[in-house]
Chains A and B, each alone.
Chain A
Amino acid sequence: MMSARLLRHETILAVLTVIALFVLAMLSDKFFTGENLLNQGRLMSEVGLVALAMTFVIVTGGIDLSVGSILGLTAILLGVFWKYLGLPLPAAIVLAMACGTFAGWVNGWIITRFNVPPLIATLATLALYRGLAEGISEARSVRGYPEWFFFFGQGEVLGVPFQLWILGIATVIAAVILGLTPFGRATYAIGANEVAARFSGIRVNATKLWIYSAAGFLSALAAVIFVSRVTTTRSDMGTGLELDVITGVVLGGTSIFGGRGTIIGTVLGLILIQALKNGLALSGVKGDGTIVVIGLVLIGAILVGALFDRNRGG
């Protein structure tokens, strides 16, 4: 029953995506080329990685507004550890990612330990983590990374961008966890009725801590890829990332109230957004006009979904 409804949303979305791809291919002959598509995949990876974790977060009925700031903080720490503390780059990467994961864990800890609504808790840490990034970096950017480091953001394996492999693997893992394991069942149960989940012996707080930590980890991973792709570190990296990510997840059919959503939906939502951005740019719409379209698509998709639900008498 529930899965039937979810599939319905994903079917709509898939059809919508196909139509969008088709129309965009008609509008510009540059759109449907292998090179362009792979490049778009490269650009999508950072948002995509974070969106996987965000799907879990939103399915539990929570939200994480601080992911963009965690990305920025991790990027800054990576640069600082390497350049100013003189750590070897691999160690700097691992340490910075550990810090990013810890930042995510702190979110979860505040939310579970003190019962702070996630919207508020992560609003606070959004400012805090970004503030730390600004304070630590003092607006200095870090450049001059060694050549091998750029492989993460610019390299290819078998003709496919490296980060697209990472995104693909992460997607499969996330989909399997959410769809097939007890952890996934617990995630849905918490979002649908947290009290009943606890009364059924589900470890609610532990589950949430894992999920928010994973959001931190994937934001940190996205940070490493981001820095490698643009070859520099700045404290404003990832600003506004949370909005792109949430838009993708919600467009993918995950209920902002929790309890419903799938990884497949999120991936479709991301693809649709990226295709629109790119296709419209190629067909001559000025860069920021595409943002308008994304806003319209977001509201439109939810509106259609809401009307569908109502007609079904749900």
Chain B
Amino acid sequence: MGTAKQTGPSSGGRDRPDATASALPVELRSVSKSFAGIKVVSNVSFDIRPGEVHALMGENGAGKSTLIKIMAGLHQADEGEILVNGKAVKFASPKDAHAAGIATVHQELLLFPELTVAENIFLGQTPKTGAGLIDWATMRRKARDLLNSLDSHDLDIDQKVASLSVGNRQRIEIARALAQDARVLIMDEPTAALAEADVQRLMAIVRNLCARGVAIIYVSHRMPEIFALANRVTVLRDGQHVGTRPVTEVDEAKLVSMMVGRSIDRLYPAKQGTDGDVILELKDVSHNRVVRNVSLALRRGEILGLAGLVGSGRTETALTIFGITPATSGEILIDGKVTPIASPEAARDLGIAYVPEDRGQQGLIKAQTIEENIALANLKRLMRGFFVDARRVTDEAAKAIARFGIRARGPKQVVRQLSGGNQQKVVLGKWLATNPRILIMDEPTRGIDVGAKAEIHLLMRKLAGEGMAILMISSELPEVLGMSDRVLVMSGGTVTAEFTKAEATAEAVGAEMTRTRTPEIAA
């Protein structure tokens, strides 16, 4: 991500001549959609030209996903019409959308783990023999050709998808779209879970597709990618169409203000207070082969940023500190004393809190209420005799709702119904209620809209100012640079560099992140 940032508008597939209006692969006219009486998409019109990358931006809840699903045939528009090649169409199911040449690469990749690569590419439209049976020979040959055309010669078409990496799975989804002769490819946050090398590869593939005349609808939060790839940008806010602009006519600040409806002048709050003593120290800590001889020190009142690519060992280090995957060698010191941490329970009782990267799976029980979630890490404290004190559970949740400004009907609202930002605040509320001294935050603002993001950043600063030691892991370089008092870079399971706030520039940290030190890990 760091290196991609500066490439600028030199990339290919940009200066494509405008197509004539009748050949537009997709045009939306005044499309609206409501759920349970609430208008989620309201009167949106824009068009896609052949061979262009059309970025679709907006905060979470702005209506991007719904719009994509309408184009993919998963939802039907209440009002307005969709035109394909100038003709109005109605998509009753994804099948209809496929038939019209619109394919989607979903955010959570929709593949079948126990089927082979070739089958995944052709599922739903397998080549048949004269007798109507699946023609495996043709299918395998075609799959091979398709992957070769995407420069993915290394993918084994007979391998089951279960054992493949995210980047490889994404390539299979793209190949599947091509197998459907897609003329429009919708990519929903394609780089959200990718390692840097895979991001570069994806961008090359996107340019390759554009050169063939495939139009791409590219949904992403990541500005560098938008500026590196897109020809035009469409911004949504609260279901409304704010505007569609050529990418050359906007800049980052302009896009942000279009998305949030106001300009955010100071994204990152300044440091408060000074650093205290070292509270947590790791000495040559390892866990199997994923964490290797990690040494670091964390002080009271500081935010220590942990940068690195996905798979570099950042999250794995956090899991080791938190006792999920206890250290297999090395020492963890708390307040200067050697303290083995064998379980999350032990870590919590030592005053360590971990706000995990996967909010839905690891952070919250979405089917339970706010108060049940907050109580879960604090059960021992909320007891009266042998029993859980229901009133104190409710009080604790009410306190958290007030303190963090969680927008909810009350402590008994089910967490599933909250927005991403408010869900993240519930996770924070749960852990801050344990009165931790060390707070580990893994991707603290992933999938959160710009407004809530700023609130969480402000809160982190405030906590640090009050003496909390914060270890922050983030894949967003601007966040790492903007929030951290110090930055450690990890690669191949170990810490490879340390930067002070002054030294930590995008170029320096980005270069350090992408330098592969231990190639044997990749094998």
- Which A residues are closer than 8 A to B by beta carbons? 1-2, 176, 180-182, 184-186, 188-189, 192-193, 195-203, 259, 313
Docked-complex contact A199 and B388, CB < 8 angstroms: no
Chief secondary structure at chain A's binding surface = helix
Docked-complex contact B388 and A196, CB < 8 angstroms: no
Number of A-B contacts (CB under 8 A): 79
CA distance A181 to B387 in the complex (A): 5
Q: Which residue of A lies closest to B417 (CB)?
A: A1
Docked-complex contact B366 and A181, CB < 8 angstroms: no
Instruction: With both chains docked as a complex, state the minimum distance between the C-beta of A150 and any C-beta of chain B, in angstroms.
Output: 36
Instruction: With both chains docked as a complex, state the minimum distance between the C-beta of A187 and any C-beta of chain B, in angstroms.
Output: 12
- Contact residues in A for B492 (Cβ distance below 8 Å): none
Docked-complex contact B388 and A181, CB < 8 angstroms: yes
Q: What are 24 inter-chain pairs, A to B, with CB distance below 8 A?
A: A1-B369, A1-B412, A1-B413, A1-B414, A2-B367, A2-B414, A182-B388, A185-B372, A185-B376, A189-B376, A192-B365, A192-B368, A193-B365, A195-B362, A196-B365, A196-B376, A197-B376, A198-B344, A200-B377, A200-B430, A201-B348, A202-B345, A259-B365, A313-B36
Given contacts A180-B388, A189-B365, A199-B356, 9 further A-B contacts (CB under 8 A): A1-B369, A2-B369, A2-B414, A182-B380, A184-B388, A185-B372, A195-B362, A199-B324, A199-B354
- Which B residues are closer than 8 A to A by beta carbons? 36, 322, 324, 343-345, 347-349, 354, 356, 361-369, 372, 375-377, 379-380, 383, 386-388, 412-414, 430
- Contact residues in B for A193 (Cβ distance below 8 Å): 361, 364-367
Instruction: With both chains docked as a complex, state the minimum distance between the C-beta of B382 and any C-beta of chain A, in angstroms.
Output: 8
Instruction: With both chains docked as a complex, state the minimum distance between the C-beta of A118 and any C-beta of chain B, in angstroms.
Output: 20
- Contact residues in A for B354 (Cβ distance below 8 Å): 199
Docked-complex contact A188 and B368, CB < 8 angstroms: yes
Docked-complex contact B347 and A201, CB < 8 angstroms: yes
Known: A1-B369, A181-B387, A193-B367. A202 touches B376 (CB 8 A): yes
Interface centre among A1, A180, A184, A186 (most CB of B within 10 A): A1
- Contact residues in A for B322 (Cβ distance below 8 Å): 199
Docked-complex contact A197 and B365, CB < 8 angstroms: yes
CA distance A1 to B412 in the complex (A): 6
CA distance A182 to B345 in the complex (A): 14
Instruction: With both chains docked as a complex, state the minimum distance between the C-beta of B311 and any C-beta of chain A, in angstroms.
Output: 19
Instruction: With both chains docked as a complex, state the minimum distance between the C-beta of B2 and any C-beta of chain A, in angstroms.
Output: 29
- Contact residues in A for B344 (Cβ distance below 8 Å): 198-201
Instruction: With both chains docked as a complex, state the minimum distance between the C-beta of B391 and any C-beta of chain A, in angstroms.
Output: 13
- Contact residues in B for A184 (Cβ distance below 8 Å): 388
CA distance A2 to B413 in the complex (A): 9
- Contact residues in A for B324 (Cβ distance below 8 Å): 198-199
Docked-complex contact B375 and A185, CB < 8 angstroms: yes
Instruction: With both chains docked as a complex, state the minimum distance between the C-beta of B470 and any C-beta of chain A, in angstroms.
Output: 18
Docked-complex contact B363 and A196, CB < 8 angstroms: yes
Q: Which residue of B lies closest to A182 (CB)?
A: B379
- Contact residues in A for B372 (Cβ distance below 8 Å): 2, 185, 188-189
- Contact residues in B for A182 (Cβ distance below 8 Å): 379-380, 383, 388
CA distance A1 to B362 in the complex (A): 22
Q: Shortest 8 CB-CB distances between A and B: which pairs?
A: A182-B379, A201-B348, A201-B345, A200-B376, A193-B365, A180-B387, A200-B377, A192-B365
- Contact residues in B for A1 (Cβ distance below 8 Å): 369, 412-414
Q: Which residue of B lies closest to A259 (CB)?
A: B367
CA distance A198 to B366 in the complex (A): 15
Known: A259-B367, A313-B36. A185 touches B361 (CB 8 A): no
Instruction: With both chains docked as a complex, state the minimum distance between the C-beta of A243 and any C-beta of chain B, in angstroms.
Output: 27
- Contact residues in A for B380 (Cβ distance below 8 Å): 182
Docked-complex contact B368 and A201, CB < 8 angstroms: no
Instruction: With both chains docked as a complex, state the minimum distance between the C-beta of A229 and any C-beta of chain B, in angstroms.
Output: 34
- Contact residues in A for B36 (Cβ distance below 8 Å): 313
Instruction: With both chains docked as a complex, state the minimum distance between the C-beta of B328 and any C-beta of chain A, in angstroms.
Output: 19
Docked-complex contact A195 and B379, CB < 8 angstroms: no
- Contact residues in B for A197 (Cβ distance below 8 Å): 365, 376
Q: Which residue of A lies closest to B416 (CB)?
A: A314
Docked-complex contact A195 and B345, CB < 8 angstroms: no
- Contact residues in B for A199 (Cβ distance below 8 Å): 322, 324, 344, 354, 356, 362-363
Instruction: With both chains docked as a complex, state the minimum distance between the C-beta of B422 and any C-beta of chain A, in angstroms.
Output: 16
- Contact residues in A for B348 (Cβ distance below 8 Å): 201
CA distance A198 to B354 in the complex (A): 12
Contact of B368 among A176, A180, A189, A195 (CB under 8 A): A189
- Contact residues in A for B376 (Cβ distance below 8 Å): 185, 189, 196-197, 200, 202
Q: Which residue of A lies closest to B355 (CB)?
A: A199
Contact of A192 among B343, B345, B367, B387 (CB under 8 A): B367
Instruction: With both chains docked as a complex, state the minimum distance between the C-beta of A112 and any C-beta of chain B, in angstroms.
Output: 14
- Contact residues in B for A192 (Cβ distance below 8 Å): 365, 367-368
CA distance A180 to B354 in the complex (A): 27
Instruction: With both chains docked as a complex, state the minimum distance between the C-beta of A310 and any C-beta of chain B, in angstroms.
Output: 14
- Contact residues in A for B368 (Cβ distance below 8 Å): 2, 188-189, 192, 259
Instruction: With both chains docked as a complex, state the minimum distance between the C-beta of B442 and any C-beta of chain A, in angstroms.
Output: 11
Instruction: With both chains docked as a complex, state the minimum distance between the C-beta of B501 and any C-beta of chain A, in angstroms.
Output: 31
Q: Which residue of A lies closest to B414 (CB)?
A: A1
CA distance A226 to B383 in the complex (A): 39
Instruction: With both chains docked as a complex, state the minimum distance between the C-beta of A9 and any C-beta of chain B, in angstroms.
Output: 15
Docked-complex contact B364 and A196, CB < 8 angstroms: yes
Instruction: With both chains docked as a complex, state the minimum distance between the C-beta of B314 and any C-beta of chain A, in angstroms.
Output: 16
CA distance A2 to B411 in the complex (A): 12
Q: Which residue of A lies closest to B367 (CB)?
A: A192
Contact of A195 among B361, B367, B386, B413 (CB under 8 A): B361
Interface centre among B322, B361, B430 (most CB of A within 10 A): B361
